[in-house]
Amino acid sequence: MSDSPAPLADPHLLFDTADGRRDLVILGSTGSIGTQAIDLVLRNPDRFRVTALSAAGGRTALLAEQAHLLRVNTVAVADPGAAPALREALRERYGAGEPLPEILAGPDAAATLAASECHTVLNGITGSIGLAPTLAALKAGRTLALANKESLIVGGPLVKALAAPGQIIPVDSEHAALFQALAAGKRADVRKLVVTASGGPFRGRTREELADVTREQALTHPTWAMGPVITINSATLVNKGLEVIEAHLLYDIPFDRIEVVVHPQSYVHSMVEFTDGSTLAQATPPDMGGPIAIGLGWPERVPDAAPAFDWSKASTWEFFPLDTEAFPSVGLARHVGTLGSTAPAVFNAANEECVDAFLAGQLPFNGIMDTVTAVVTEHGTPAPGTPLSLGDVLEAETWARARARELSAKATAEARA
């Protein structure tokens, strides 16, 4: 293990921090991670300054409000058609004579911002469309606070080729927990990583009992408030499978030494077991404020970034093994992670399409993973040592999305026949 390359995310390997306030670019500012990051910034104006924001373009009024509150230089939307509405919303927010921020629009706008002058880029975009901004930030030498796990998963070799040791600070609660626990020891002394899962809304159900799950039931998560795609991924535990791949890539730990355990309370966000038998766990009440603060402020901690436990009150913390029969997603994720190349991109893209089909009432809950498995199987095994390019990733994603839609439509037609 000592001969392995340095991990992408290592608390012992850090870029120099800037003097005074840290300049930030926030991608996906109107989403869950983005809005919470902005709240943290507004509560800590002496620590952070936001220079630019990007969003998809569906919430231009909120984006304009954020831009005005933070006095950013540049605002970007991925949808070119949203630019006029954004400009009008900015004019309504800014007073007469106040200069408006520069507006960028188009699919490359977020990547342009990711390469702009700043200390840290927070990539809070949802989905594999976050890959290009991730690569742009790394190539420009920015510290990357990474909440967009999909970009690392689908473009692992591309990200690893660009990232300097320690350049990525993970923002997922699980990986931020591992990041902090790993700071307590040497990498050579790590026996395994233990990634915790709440179990989602269907913990304890058998595969048969999941057959008639409704959209509303799947969107009701017991501990976290998230967007619809991530919430469904948490219900199928696909999210946990993606996190296993991400942990492998971030910390260079083999898949057979990354374990998933179910922890319904979501208090312990992940653990590191060392070779001497000790296990270090990172724990807070379920809240993303802490992981976001780690991503933006490390190696310094931001006071009161998240709530703390009241240790004077009794509480029960439970841990259970993962039911791999009812939730095969983690096993499939390990498989595609081991295959590497375009296999993780196919897995992720097919899943995104199947989640959309489930939310639209076109696919049953169990059909999500059944269809993803079929697409992954049909994709086959990449040739060992095959170099990966961004074009390869995009081509594999396009094929996987089209094939997942075909299989979903076929399943819908057969169910109605």
Q: How confident is the model at residue 96 (pLDDT cuts 50, 70, 90)?
A: confident
pLDDT of residue 142 exceeding 70, the answer is yes
Quick one: 256 and 375 in the same domain? yes
pLDDT of residue 371 exceeding 50, the answer is yes
Mean pLDDT, the chain, rounded, equals 93
Q: Match 């692992």 to its residue by tokens.
A: 156
Q: What is the mean pLDDT of residues 268-286?
A: 97
Q: What is the mean pLDDT of residues 2-26?
A: 79
Q: What is the mean pLDDT of residues 87-115?
A: 95
Q: What pLDDT score does 249 carry? A: 95
Query: Is 246 annotated as ligand-binding?
Result: no
C-alpha 243/C-alpha 194 separation (Å) is: 11
Quick one: 93 and 188 in the same domain? no
Q: How confident is the model at residue 13 (pLDDT cuts 50, 70, 90)?
A: confident
Cβ-Cβ contacts under 8 Å for 128 (sequence gap 6 or more): 150, 151, 153, 154, 155, 345, 348, 349, 352, 393, 397
Higher pLDDT, residue 417 or 200: 200
User: End of a domain among 156, 172, 188?
Assistant: 172
CATH of the domain at 121: 3.40.50.720
Q: How confident is the model at residue 95 (pLDDT cuts 50, 70, 90)?
A: confident
Q: What is the mean pLDDT of residues 260-272?
A: 96
Cβ-Cβ contacts under 8 Å for 267 (sequence gap 6 or more): 283, 284, 285, 286, 309, 315, 317
Higher pLDDT, residue 18 or 371: 371
Of the candidate ranges 15-19, 94-98, 279-283, the one whose mean pLDDT is the lowest: 15-19
Q: Match 């989905």 to its residue by tokens.
A: 127
Query: Is 149 annotated as ligand-binding?
Result: yes
Q: What pLDDT score does 380 carry? A: 86
Quick one: 269 and 343 in the same domain? yes
Q: What pLDDT score does 416 carry? A: 73
User: End of a domain among 137, 172, 207?
Assistant: 172
Query: Is 351 annotated as ligand-binding?
Result: no
pLDDT of residue 37 exceeding 50, the answer is yes
User: End of a domain among 172, 192, 225?
Assistant: 172
Q: What pLDDT score does 20 carry? A: 80
Quick one: 184 and 316 in the same domain? yes
Of the candidate ranges 13-27, 195-209, 263-277, the one whose mean pLDDT is the lowest: 13-27
Quick one: 373 and 330 in the same domain? yes
Domain count within the chain: 2
Domain hosting 360: range is 176-416
Query: Is 82 annotated as ligand-binding?
Result: no
Q: What pLDDT score does 6 carry? A: 77
Query: Is 32 annotated as ligand-binding?
Result: yes
Q: Estimate to the nearest angstrom the gap between the alpha carbon of 381 and the chain centroid.
A: 26
Q: How confident is the model at residue 417 (pLDDT cuts 50, 70, 90)?
A: low
pLDDT of residue 97 exceeding 70, the answer is yes
Of 172-181, 375-384, 404-413, the range with the highest mean pLDDT is 172-181
Query: Is 356 annotated as ligand-binding?
Result: no
Quick one: 302 and 371 in the same domain? yes
Q: What letter represents residue 20's amino acid?
A: G
pLDDT of residue 229 exceeding 80, the answer is yes
Query: Is 221 annotated as ligand-binding?
Result: yes
Query: Is 139 annotated as ligand-binding?
Result: no
Quick one: 283 and 374 in the same domain? yes
Quick one: 74 and 207 in the same domain? no
Quick one: 130 and 264 in the same domain? no
Q: What is the mean pLDDT of residues 396-410?
A: 96
Q: What pLDDT score does 196 carry? A: 97
Other CB atoms within a 10 A radius of the CB of residue 166 amount to: 18
Higher pLDDT, residue 385 or 317: 317
Q: What pLDDT score does 346 carry? A: 96
Q: What pLDDT score does 225 carry? A: 67
Q: What pLDDT score does 15 carry? A: 74
Query: Is 58 annotated as ligand-binding?
Result: no
Quick one: 86 and 204 in the same domain? no
Q: What is the mean pLDDT of residues 270-290?
A: 96
Quick one: 166 and 181 in the same domain? no
Q: How confident is the model at residue 414 (pLDDT cuts 50, 70, 90)?
A: confident
In a domain, 17, yes or no: no
Query: Is 234 annotated as ligand-binding?
Result: yes
Q: What is the mean pLDDT of residues 168-178?
A: 96
Q: What pLDDT score does 3 carry? A: 44
Query: Is 243 annotated as ligand-binding?
Result: yes
Q: What is the mean pLDDT of residues 82-110?
A: 94
Query: Is 33 annotated as ligand-binding?
Result: yes
Q: What pLDDT score does 1 carry? A: 36
Quick one: 164 and 182 in the same domain? no
